[in-house]
Amino acid sequence: MPFIDSKISIKITDAQEKELKARLGQAIALLPGKSETWLMTGFEDNYHLYFRGDNSNPMAFVEVSILGTADSGALSNMTAEITKIFGEVLGIAGEMVYVKYSSTQDWGWNGGNF
């Protein structure tokens, strides 16, 4: 039940959004037991982000929410892949990408909870 929500400071094209969705769908498999089958993604472009009080560079805040937990090694691998994806697809430098992880034991879907 992963959800990857991305706030991006620049405008993205439909083609870029589709490529991000596809590549994040592959990357989620870096977390044990997760796959694109249950992945939901969201993208907010032209989002007003500031880092160190400045907004002159493209940047992104990416939040990965998962049911259950993942070990720090898997999360580190996921951060590296997310940073790579946003760099290759959108030209956002790695130091301009924040990744936040949220874990929960309660996740609802289709009128019930897992």
3-54+65-108 has which CATH code? Answer: 3.30.429.10
Phi, psi angles (nearest 5°) of residue 53: 80, 10
Is pTM beyond 0.75 here? Answer: yes
For residue range 53-66, list pLDDT tens digits in order.
999 999 999 999 99
What does the DSSP assignment read for 45-100?
-S----BTTB-SS--EEEEEEEES---HHHHHHHHHHHHHHHHHHH---GGGEEEE
Encoded tokens for 65:
């929410």
**What's the one-letter identity of residue 73?**
G
Closest CA to 87 of 5, 10, 3, 4: 10
**Ranges of each domain in the chain:** 3-54+65-108
Burial of 3 (0-12, 13-18, 19+ CB in 10 A): middle
For residue range 16-51, list pLDDT tens digits in order.
999 999 999 999 999 999 999 999 999 999 999 999
